[in-house]
């Protein structure tokens, strides 16, 4: 067993049980965004969180060890994503990345927005022309230091 196998087992069990990521998050006790990332292999779960996932999905006990293991983050199968939804985020960064960088540097100075000290909220925004996806991201600003 490895982390990828556990991720595949989680997805299979989620589909079989017909539950939502929000329901999984409620069971784990974290946000739906963090819980989804964790179940998809991008975050490290603690003992209680790992045991909650194992119990909810009926996974073997060994799966908890892999859920608590620090994952290899940011691991997409290709450098340019081919999945249409994920590609749109790549496209968004290609088009607006320099704008994000310029405005963050103008407002905060020379530094980065942390993906470690980070939170995200994804919601459906009803619209008569077709529902919209609203994603609010908030990351701690980390200035570059001089030495």
**What are the residue numbers of the active site?**
88, 91, 114
Measured CA distances, 134 to 38, 53, 94, 120, 123 (Å): 21, 27, 19, 10, 5
Angle between helices 3-17 and 47-57 (to 10 degrees): 50
- Specify the 3-state DSSP secondary structure of 3: helix
Angle between helices 32-39 and 3-17 (to 10 degrees): 120
- Specify the 3-state DSSP secondary structure of 40: coil
């Amino acid at each position: 067993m490895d982390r990828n196998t556990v991720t595949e087992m989680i997805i299979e069990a989620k589909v079989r049980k017909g539950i939502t990521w929000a329901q999984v998050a409620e069971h784990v006790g974290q946000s739906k965004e963090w819980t989804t990332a964790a179940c998809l292999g991008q975050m490290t779960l603690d003992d209680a969180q790992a045991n909650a996932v194992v119990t909810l999905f009926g996974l073997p006990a060994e799966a908890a060890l892999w859920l608590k293991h620090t994952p290899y983050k940011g691991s997409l199968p290709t450098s340019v994503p081919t999945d249409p939804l994920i590609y749109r985020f790549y496209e968004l960064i290609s088009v607006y990345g320099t704008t994000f960088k310029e405005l963050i540097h103008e407002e905060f100075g020379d530094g980065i927005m942390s993906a470690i000290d980070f939170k995200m909220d994804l919601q459906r925004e009803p619209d008569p022309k077709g529902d919209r996806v609203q994603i609010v991201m908030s990351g701690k600003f980390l200035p570059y230091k001089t030495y």
